[in-house]
Chains A and B, each alone.
Chain A
Amino acid sequence: MTSRQFLVIVAIAQGVLLLALIILIALNRWVRLRRSAKVDPRRIELDAVMQRWVLGQADAAAVAHALGSLPIPFIIDALVTWSARVPGERWRQLSSQLEQRWWARVLRGSSRSARWWKRLDCARFLAVAATSHDTGRLLRLLRDPHPAVQLAAATTLERLDSPLLVAAALDQLPHLGPTVQAYYASVLKRSRPAVLRHLMQLFRRLDDPRLPRIIEFAGRLEEPVLREPFTTLATHLDPEVRTQVARALGKFPHRESVAALSYLVHDEAWPVRAQAVRSLGMIADATTLSAVRDALRDSEWWVRLRAGLALTRFGPPGRSVLLAAEVGADAAARDMAALILGLSSQALAEYAA
């Protein structure tokens, strides 16, 4: 073949492809229009049936039937939307009713699909319609290689009480990024007893490199029963663990927390000191005022800032300490006190947030 012939073939192929792309645009528009004309009335009908069911004027079977007339992505969307509006027990009735439907069986079967978006559909469906029979499926989805599937599966924990699933989710937790951890914390709140049992076991693994992340997560739960393990971990060798402990203890106004924080405020690592002094400010125990005042003279700027902000939470005694520091001998403490006293209450509230 000559180069001219080659170019002619390429030019013809380009022309055909151009035409195909334009036809694709037209076809895409036509298909969308046709689909919405077909599906929209059914969605309106489903909403009406759901409404009647919520008011007790229709049974769950009618809802399941109306759902069955929609394509699967629309079923999941409708279930997600309505699940937020219907009380738990009533919704569980519908979940049980859906177990027998052919399309629900298809969706459940997708948990083993090789395509991640099929598994995601399954996880989203189970997040609102799982029953106790789905534990095995959910365990698999929680360990799915695709993070979107994991996340959707974790959402199930808001609805389904299962110690097994909680343990699986908590095992995953240290491997997750901070944002995902925070999301897990929010969905695991409902399963608190099972979560706490498992956390207690995890706290015993002192050499576990995942410990800081576990403490960070546990701190978010603000559960009083966790205060004791936190105080025990205040002497841990890893400064990251001590920082997380210092952060978590600020949420527990108790004399043992105060004792642990008073110890941590002298830590050799400045992030631990900064966090400890912040937590002392959150508790604002009068006996710790001198420790916070001393922190105002710390060699690290961030610790001094946290100490200054903490003092504002002690009320008039804290303010007196700041006023004294503002005219005191220590230059660093003087600068920080001047800075803090110059902040408006609005700015202080922002910092406290």
Chain B
Amino acid sequence: MNTLIHTTDVVILTYFLALNTFYALLLVLAIPEIWEQTRLAEDEDFQRLMQSDALPPITILVPAYNESATIETSVTAILTLEYRNFEVVVVNDGSKDDTMERLRQAFELYEVPRTYAEAIPTQPLRAVYRSRTRTRLLVIDKENGGKADSLNAAINASRFPLVIAVDADTLIEPDALLRLTRPFLLGARIAAVGGTIRVANGCMVKDGRVTDARVPRRFLPGIQVVEYLRAFLFGRLGWNRLGGSLVISGAFGLFRKDYLHAIGGYRVSSVVEDLDLVVRLHRHLQRNKIRYEIPFIPDPVAWTEVPESGRILSRQRERWHRGLIAAMWQYKGMLGNPRYGRVGLIAMPFFTFGEMLAPLIEVLGYGMTVLGLAYGAINTSFALLFLLVAWGYGMLLSIWAVVLDEVSFRRYGRLGDIVRLLFYATLETFGYRQRTVWWRLKAFASVWKRGQVWGEMVRKGFATPS
């Protein structure tokens, strides 16, 4: 028994060391990236560019399902973005509430014939509408088919070469589109670009815009602020230097439409459509030996409301992890395959072993430690010391993400917000992390059972200035 415990411990320790070394590498790589991106984001010439015809036209895809409460505000906010040439395609995915009726009334919709080819097959369309008041708006009413199907319907209807998928409940900063197109202006080989998602809970929102960024006082959304900072500010930035991340958030990512057509759009049967899309995009471009980049840039920001209850959060995390497992399994042929370049040799192994299997290994680690202590194979003080170091490392990564935000974009100006962020970064390791491990573990049990559904999210609504 003792040998088994020892061997398992060595495996877990090696895993821990390798994974954390990789995180440290991402962190180190994120520093020059954030420096570079901050320098580019400071460019005063943006005002000049805004008035130029050079910016590529963009189609904003807005899938909506049962969004009656927020659809008017969201679409109005999107329509008033600071960008010269864009159109908005809203897809009502057979909502059971009065989303369609709300849209019809708010934007004076009138029915028009369909004037485009159905390049990607979708559920049948009921009708296509234009607005009498907003010429940039096109609304599609279709049979329910899920988020991916709605996005495909919107891609079919889009007229412009770049498309961006935006959740109906996401608040995009006015200049975010402008900033998101920067890589297209600076590089010729851009296939897609991801922007930053931040937590809107606790922020002041007016007319669909975040007017005052605050860190929520409640524990669960507060901790998610730190998680999002960590994921975006050093995780994804670090990946820029390692061949591009496998994830561009479905709530805020700009894609070249011709590439989306080439891969057949979003896969309707996928659990997490954004991850699946980006992996297939990498696969297609690598297979066809097309030189490309899929960068993440931190300064374009979209704000989203995160779950405030453990029940909804657990479902969200379980669904995300289920999507990760399904995607890694689906595209296992890319794993360690040199044909797919750095994506096959670095990104896929990391997402498989470092992300997908992480909850299993962590639970195994906890179990083995308990067993080892029970059988006297592990010294108690050593186990505690190891736990302290492991937790300390997690805390350090979170605080580092807070520091990166503080020295670059400084979205949270108040000292109280910074103190709160540091507090959440410290507490995340105690209890919250273990809960997320459990939620992600559940995904292994349910991965083959459920198909693609709209993620359930109970909207609390945003705080508005008095």
Using a CB–CB cutoff of 8 Å, the interface residues on chain A facing chain B are 3-4, 7-8, 10-11, 14-15, 17-18, 21-22, 24-25, 28-29, 73, 76-77, 80-81, 84, 117, 120, 124, 127, 147-148, 151-152, 155, 175-180, 182-183, 185-186, 301-302, 305, 338-339, 342-344, 346-347, 349-351
Complex CA–CA separation, A329 to B399 (angstroms)? 72
**With contact pairs A18-B395, A305-B115, A344-B112 given, residues A25 and B44 touching in the complex (Cβ less than 8 Å):** no
Set of chain A residues within 8 Å of B40, measured between Cβ atoms: 148
Residue ID in chain B nearest A349 by CB atoms: B135
Say whether B382 contacts A339, CB under 8 Å.
no
Say whether B385 contacts A80, CB under 8 Å.
no
Which 7 pairs of residues, A with B, have the shortest CB-CB distance? Answer: A183-B54, A177-B188, A182-B54, A147-B186, A14-B392, A342-B113, A80-B44
Say whether A81 contacts B44, CB under 8 Å.
yes
Say whether A346 contacts B130, CB under 8 Å.
yes
Choice from B48, B114, B186 contacting A148 with Cβ under 8 Å: B186
Choice from A17, A25, A80, A343 contacting B115 with Cβ under 8 Å: A343
Set of chain B residues within 8 Å of A76, measured between Cβ atoms: 44
Say whether A3 contacts B45, CB under 8 Å.
no
Q: Does B376 contact A (CB under 8 A)?
A: no
Set of chain A residues within 8 Å of B402, measured between Cβ atoms: 25
Q: Does B422 contact A (CB under 8 A)?
A: yes
Say whether A77 contacts B44, CB under 8 Å.
yes
From residue 188 to 224 of chain B, which have CB atoms closer than 8 A to chain A? 188-190
Q: Mark B407-427, 1 if CB is under 8 A from A, else 0.
A: 100000001001000100000
Complex CA–CA separation, A183 to B36 (angstroms)? 22
Complex CA–CA separation, A117 to B40 (angstroms)? 9
Say whether A347 contacts B130, CB under 8 Å.
yes
Say whether B113 contacts A186, CB under 8 Å.
no
Shortest B179–chain A CB gap in Å is: 13
Additional pairs, 12, CB under 8 Å, beyond known A11-B392, A179-B54: A7-B386, A7-B389, A11-B385, A14-B389, A14-B393, A29-B406, A124-B45, A179-B56, A180-B54, A180-B185, A182-B54, A183-B52
Set of chain A residues within 8 Å of B388, measured between Cβ atoms: 11
Complex CA–CA separation, A347 to B135 (angstroms)? 8
Say whether A73 contacts B392, CB under 8 Å.
no
Residue ID in chain A nearest B405 by CB atoms: A25
Shortest B456–chain A CB gap in Å is: 36
Set of chain A residues within 8 Å of B44, measured between Cβ atoms: 76-77, 80-81, 124
Complex CA–CA separation, A24 to B400 (angstroms)? 10
Q: Does B373 contact A (CB under 8 A)?
A: no
Say whether A301 contacts B117, CB under 8 Å.
yes
Choice from B190, B389, B396 contacting A17 with Cβ under 8 Å: B396
Shortest A123–chain B CB gap in Å is: 10
Complex CA–CA separation, A346 to B112 (angstroms)? 11
Set of chain A residues within 8 Å of B407, measured between Cβ atoms: 24, 28
Complex CA–CA separation, A3 to B13 (angstroms)? 11
Q: Does B101 contact A (CB under 8 A)?
A: no
Q: Does B39 contact A (CB under 8 A)?
A: yes
Say whether B112 contacts A343, CB under 8 Å.
yes
Using a CB–CB cutoff of 8 Å, the interface residues on chain B facing chain A are 36, 39-40, 42-45, 48-49, 52-56, 110, 112-115, 117, 130, 132, 135, 161, 181, 184-190, 381-382, 385-386, 388-389, 392-393, 395-396, 399-400, 402-403, 406-407, 415, 418, 422
**With contact pairs A4-B385, A180-B185 given, residues A152 and B422 touching in the complex (Cβ less than 8 Å):** no
Residue ID in chain B nearest A301 by CB atoms: B117
Residue ID in chain B nearest A343 by CB atoms: B112
Set of chain B residues within 8 Å of A342, measured between Cβ atoms: 112-113
Say whether B403 contacts A24, CB under 8 Å.
yes
Set of chain B residues within 8 Å of A124, measured between Cβ atoms: 43-45
Say whether A80 contacts B54, CB under 8 Å.
no
Say whether B52 contacts A4, CB under 8 Å.
no
Shortest A156–chain B CB gap in Å is: 12
Residue ID in chain A nearest B403 by CB atoms: A21
Say whether A80 contacts B117, CB under 8 Å.
no
Say whether A176 contacts B188, CB under 8 Å.
yes
**With contact pairs A14-B389, A177-B187 given, residues A346 and B39 touching in the complex (Cβ less than 8 Å):** no
Most B CB contacts (10 A, CB to CB) among A7, A25, A84 go to: A25
Shortest B368–chain A CB gap in Å is: 16
**With contact pairs A14-B396, A22-B422, A151-B185 given, residues A182 and B53 touching in the complex (Cβ less than 8 Å):** yes
Say whether A186 contacts B135, CB under 8 Å.
no
Shortest A68–chain B CB gap in Å is: 19
Set of chain A residues within 8 Å of B395, measured between Cβ atoms: 18
Set of chain A residues within 8 Å of B114, measured between Cβ atoms: 339
Say whether A155 contacts B48, CB under 8 Å.
yes
Complex CA–CA separation, A121 to B389 (angstroms)? 43
Set of chain B residues within 8 Å of A24, measured between Cβ atoms: 403, 407
Shortest B354–chain A CB gap in Å is: 20
Choice from A10, A21, A180 contacting B389 with Cβ under 8 Å: A10
Residue ID in chain A nearest B186 by CB atoms: A147
Shortest A187–chain B CB gap in Å is: 8
Complex CA–CA separation, A24 to B43 (angstroms)? 26
Set of chain A residues within 8 Å of B48, measured between Cβ atoms: 80, 84, 155
Choice from A25, A180, A349, A351 contacting B418 with Cβ under 8 Å: A25
Set of chain A residues within 8 Å of B392, measured between Cβ atoms: 11, 14-15, 18
Set of chain B residues within 8 Å of A177, measured between Cβ atoms: 184-185, 187-190
Complex CA–CA separation, A300 to B53 (angstroms)? 31
19 A-B residue pairings within 8 Å (CB atoms): A7-B385, A8-B385, A11-B392, A18-B392, A18-B395, A21-B396, A25-B418, A29-B406, A29-B415, A152-B45, A177-B184, A179-B54, A179-B184, A305-B115, A339-B113, A339-B115, A343-B115, A344-B112, A344-B130
Complex CA–CA separation, A124 to B115 (angstroms)? 44
Complex CA–CA separation, A75 to B121 (angstroms)? 55
Complex CA–CA separation, A178 to B56 (angstroms)? 8
Shortest B218–chain A CB gap in Å is: 23
Say whether A179 contacts B403, CB under 8 Å.
no
Complex CA–CA separation, A14 to B385 (angstroms)? 13
Say whether A147 contacts B187, CB under 8 Å.
yes
Set of chain B residues within 8 Å of A185, measured between Cβ atoms: 54
Say whether A351 contacts B115, CB under 8 Å.
yes
Set of chain B residues within 8 Å of A4, measured between Cβ atoms: 381-382, 385
Set of chain B residues within 8 Å of A180, measured between Cβ atoms: 54, 185-186, 188
Complex CA–CA separation, A152 to B182 (angstroms)? 13
Most A CB contacts (10 A, CB to CB) among B161, B181, B385 go to: B385
Residue ID in chain A nearest B110 by CB atoms: A344
Set of chain B residues within 8 Å of A117, measured between Cβ atoms: 36, 39
Set of chain A residues within 8 Å of B112, measured between Cβ atoms: 342-344, 347
Shortest B83–chain A CB gap in Å is: 13
Set of chain B residues within 8 Å of A302, measured between Cβ atoms: 117
Most A CB contacts (10 A, CB to CB) among B48, B55, B395 go to: B48
Shortest A162–chain B CB gap in Å is: 20
Say whether B400 contacts A183, CB under 8 Å.
no
Set of chain B residues within 8 Å of A18, measured between Cβ atoms: 392, 395-396, 399
**With contact pairs A4-B385, A344-B130 given, residues A186 and B54 touching in the complex (Cβ less than 8 Å):** yes
Complex CA–CA separation, A77 to B42 (angstroms)? 10
Complex CA–CA separation, A3 to B379 (angstroms)? 12
